[in-house]
């Protein structure tokens, strides 16, 4: 998973010294969190953010026509060409052949036939046609085409994001207890039958209101990544859980979990992402009333058109 938060210098300094350190500046901390929230909204609205996704089409081996005509295997919005081209799926991935006269581009250069390198490669390819763009995602050796619309009206009307009040007590010190060897976790996703298999260095132990809990951590570059659930999933937050990043600890295992920086996965906003869900071991039996809430009005449904 890509890291989608930025912890600025002030928060990193607090993480190294601990919330209870003398001189803790609550007002400055709250301001940092508010700035992070503003950045979060901008990242979602970015042309390469999650909000302008309008389709995710899983492909088996074979050929698939695509365009706006209802006879296509993959039907795209009416504003685009009736037949844009054909996807061909094989062992080497997804090839696209454009229909003669269709204006199809890669890196602003017209293309007629191309292997669309998927998002697990070093140089993923994005194809554009009018206001649409598509990429290929690869999950569990399965391919899908993800389509976005750079003029998707949902983006312009989106927001604001709902949040719990900032609660500095839910920025907690934690200790990583490492496994003897890193393990590959088996985590379910919102796509039935599709798994998420990150490397886990161990579990992180922390305390909230005098009770001790632990979450299994996943490795994400130089950070720890968590998919966690809690009792707020029943009413205030996204049911499949929330995401959270923390700095990877040094040899002492010490890090900080700042639940004020927890946020909803992309699938909270549309059904065109392959989000992992919180595993049973990562579901906390308490309410974590910090971070981002869920609002069903901020979810785009292709069937409902909103």
Check: CB of residue 51 under 8 Å from CB of residue 152. Answer: yes
Task: Based on the fold, state whether residues 198 and 147 are members of the same structural domain.
Answer: no
Task: Based on the fold, state whether residues 186 and 228 are members of the same structural domain.
Answer: yes
Instruction: Calculate the dihedral angle through the C-alpha atoms of 79, 83, 88, 93, rounding to the nearest 10 degrees.
Output: -20
Task: Based on the fold, state whether residues 169 and 292 are members of the same structural domain.
Answer: yes
Domain containing residue 271: 161-298
Q: What is the pLDDT of residue 293?
A: 98
For residues 179-188, one letter each, b for 16 or more C-beta atoms within 10 angstroms of the residue's C-beta and e for the rest, the string is eeeeeebebb
Task: Based on the fold, state whether residues 146 and 183 are members of the same structural domain.
Answer: no
Q: What is the pLDDT of residue 302?
A: 73
Q: What are residue 278's phi and psi, to 5 degrees?
A: -65, 125
Q: What is the pLDDT of residue 303?
A: 65
Domain boundary (106, 130, 151) is at 151
* Long-range CB contact pairs, 153-156, < 8 A, 24+: 154/51, 154/52, 154/300, 154/306, 155/45, 155/51, 155/52
Number of domains composing the chain:
2
For residue 161, which of 238, 224, 234 has the smallest C-alpha distance?
238
Distance of CA 133 to the CA centre of its chain: 18
Non-local (6+) Cβ contacts of 178 within 8 A are: 201, 202, 253
The stretches of 206-292 forming alpha helices (DSSP H) are: none
Tallying the residues shown for the chain, one arrives at: 306
β-sheet bridge partners, residue 175: 205, 254
Task: Based on the fold, state whether residues 168 and 262 are members of the same structural domain.
Answer: yes
- What pLDDT tens digit does each residue of the chain (306 aa) get? 444 444 444 444 444 444 456 678 999 999 999 999 999 999 999 999 999 999 999 999 999 999 999 999 999 999 999 999 999 999 899 999 999 999 999 999 999 999 999 999 999 999 999 999 999 999 999 999 999 999 999 999 999 999 999 999 999 999 999 999 999 999 999 999 999 999 999 999 999 999 999 999 999 999 999 999 999 999 999 999 999 999 999 999 999 999 999 999 999 999 999 999 999 999 999 999 999 999 999 999 876 543
Whether residue 215 is contained in a domain is answered as: yes
Domain boundary (151, 186, 211) is at 151
Distance in angstroms (rounded) separating the CA atoms of residues 265 and 40: 12
pTM value?
0.90
- CATH code of 140's domain: 2.60.200.20
Whether residue 129 is contained in a domain is answered as: yes
CA 134 vs CA 49, 52, 144, 263: distances in Å: 13, 11, 10, 26
Distance in angstroms (rounded) separating the CA atoms of residues 72 and 106: 22
* Long-range CB contact pairs, 33-40, < 8 A, 24+: 33/166, 33/260, 33/261, 34/166, 35/8, 36/5, 36/6, 36/7, 36/8, 36/261, 37/161, 37/163, 39/6, 40/4, 40/5, 40/161, 40/263, 40/292
Q: What is the pLDDT of residue 8?
A: 47
Task: Based on the fold, state whether residues 120 and 179 are members of the same structural domain.
Answer: no
Whether residue 25 is contained in a domain is answered as: no
For residues 53-71, one letter each, b for 16 or more C-beta atoms within 10 angstroms of the residue's C-beta and e for the rest, the string is bbbbbebeeeebbbbeeee
């Amino acid at each position: 998973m890509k890291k989608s938060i930025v912890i600025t210098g002030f928060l990193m300094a607090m993480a190294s010294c601990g919330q209870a350190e003398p001189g803790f500046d609550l007002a400055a901390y709250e301001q940092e969190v508010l700035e992070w929230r503003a950045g979060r909204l901008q990242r979602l609205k970015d042309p390469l953010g999650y909000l302008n996704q309008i389709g995710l089409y899983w492909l088996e081996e074979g050929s698939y026509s695509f365009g706006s005509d209802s006879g296509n295997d993959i039907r795209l919005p009416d504003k685009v060409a009736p037949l844009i081209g054909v996807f061909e799926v094989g062992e080497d991935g997804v090839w696209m052949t454009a229909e003669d006269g269709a204006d199809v581009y890669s890196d602003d250069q017209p293309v007629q036939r191309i292997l669309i390198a998927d998002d697990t490669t070093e140089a993923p390819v994005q194809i554009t046609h009018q206001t649409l763009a598509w990429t290929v995602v690869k999950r569990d050796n399965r391919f899908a085409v993800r389509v976005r619309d750079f003029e998707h009206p949902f983006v312009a009307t989106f927001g604001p994001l709902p949040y719990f009040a900032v609660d500095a007590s839910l920025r907690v010190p934690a200790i990583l207890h490492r496994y003897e060897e890193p393990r590959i976790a088996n985590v379910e996703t919102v796509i039935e039958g599709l798994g998420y298999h990150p490397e886990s260095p161990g579990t992180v132990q922390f305390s909230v209101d005098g009770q001790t809990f632990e979450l299994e951590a996943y490795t994400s570059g130089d950070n720890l990544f968590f998919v966690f659930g809690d009792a707020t999933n029943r009413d205030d937050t996204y049911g499949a859980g929330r995401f959270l990043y923390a700095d990877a600890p040094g040899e002492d295992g010490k890090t900080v979990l700042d639940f004020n920086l927890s946020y909803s996965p992309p699938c909270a906003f549309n059904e065109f992402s392959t989000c992992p869900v919180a595993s049973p071991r990562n579901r906390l039996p308490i309410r974590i009333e910090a971070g981002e809430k869920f609002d069903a009005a901020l979810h785009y449904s292709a069937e409902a058109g909103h």
